[in-house]
Structure 1
Amino acid sequence: MMQQSQSEGYSPSLVGLSHDLHNAPAFSVFGCFLSLRTCLPRRPLGSAGIGSLADRASVCKHQQFPQQNWGILILADFVLLDFIGNLAPVESLTHASGRKLQPSHEIPRPMAQVPVDSDEVPELPEELNPSALPKHVAIIMDGNSRWAERRGLPASMGHEAGVRSLKEVVKLAHTWGIKVLTVFAFSTENWLRPKTEVDFLMLLFENVLKNELSILAKENVRVHCMGDLRSLPESLRNMVSTLDERTKHNTGLKFCIALSYSGRYDITNACQRLAAKVEAGEMSSSDINEAVIDEEMKTSWLGEARNPDLLIRTSGEQRLSNFLLWQIAYSELYFVDSLWPDFGFVQFKEALLAYQNRSRRFGKRK
Structure 2
Amino acid sequence: MTSPEESALLARYHYLRGLVNTVSNKRLDALEDFQSLYKTDAEIFPSQMVKSLVASLSEAERLQGDKRPDIKSLISRHIDESECVFKLSSSVKTSRGVGKIAMTQRRLFLLTDGRPGYVEVAQYRDLEEVKVFSAPFLLLRIPSLKLRVHGRKEAFEANLKTETELWNLMVKEMWAGRIVADRHKDPQYMQQALTNALLMDAVAVDVLLYTPGQLWVSVSGGKMMVFDASSWSLIQTCQVGNAKLNCMLGVDKDQVWVGSEDCVIYIISIVSMVCNRQLTEHRAEVTGLALDTDKISHKVAYSCSAEGTIIVWDVSTLQVKKQFRLSCDRLLSVHSCSKTLWCCSRDSVME
> Larger % of strand: which?
2
User: RCO (CA 8 Å, sep 6+): is it higher in 1 or 2?
Assistant: 1
TM-score under structure 2 normalisation?
0.29
> Larger % of helix: which?
1
TM-score under structure 1 normalisation?
0.28
